[in-house]
């Protein structure tokens, strides 16, 4: 199994990889960690937004490719409060 890209594995990241060679081996691995370490008020939003990326992303995260990533994010992650720095933005800022 190869590493896979995930939206919002952490509240302050847009895209990260899970799998072999990564800190988290799977989405479920990170979800378990969230249940153990994050406040219950954060769980629903984190779990809704954290999902495998369907489209193709560049394996490197170069700034020149950031626009492509942002465009893919807008397509795949509907109703997302991501403000470029965190998912806890807008009406979710108080979680
Ligand atoms: Zn999003």
What are 74-91's pLDDT values in tens digits? Answer: 999 999 999 999 999 999
Report the separation in Å between the CA atom of 61 and the middle of ligand 1, taken as the mean of its atom positions: 17
Ligand 1 centre from 87 Cα, in Å? 7
User: For residues 27 and 17, is the Cβ–Cβ distance under 8 A?
Assistant: no
| Predicted structure pTM score | 0.89
Q: Measured in angstroms, how far is the CA atom of residue 1 from the centroid of ligand 1? A: 25
Average pLDDT over residues 3-15: 95
> How far does residue 20's CA lie from ligand 1's centre (Å)?
24
Question: Ramachandran region of residue 79, left (φ > 0), alpha (ψ -120 to 50) or beta?
Answer: left
pLDDT of residue 94: 84
Cα(21) to ligand 1 centroid in Å equals 24
């Amino acid at each position: 199994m190869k590493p896979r890209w995930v939206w919002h594995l952490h509240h302050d990241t847009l895209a990260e990889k899970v799998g072999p060679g990564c800190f988290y081996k799977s989405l479920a691995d990170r979800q378990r960690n969230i249940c153990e370490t994050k406040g219950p008020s954060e769980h629903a939003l984190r779990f809704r937004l954290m999902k495998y990326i369907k489209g193709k992303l560049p394996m490197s995260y170069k700034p020149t490719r950031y626009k492509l990533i942002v465009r893919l994010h807008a397509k795949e992650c509907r109703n997302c409060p991501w403000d470029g720095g965190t998912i806890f933005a807008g009406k979710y800022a108080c979680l």
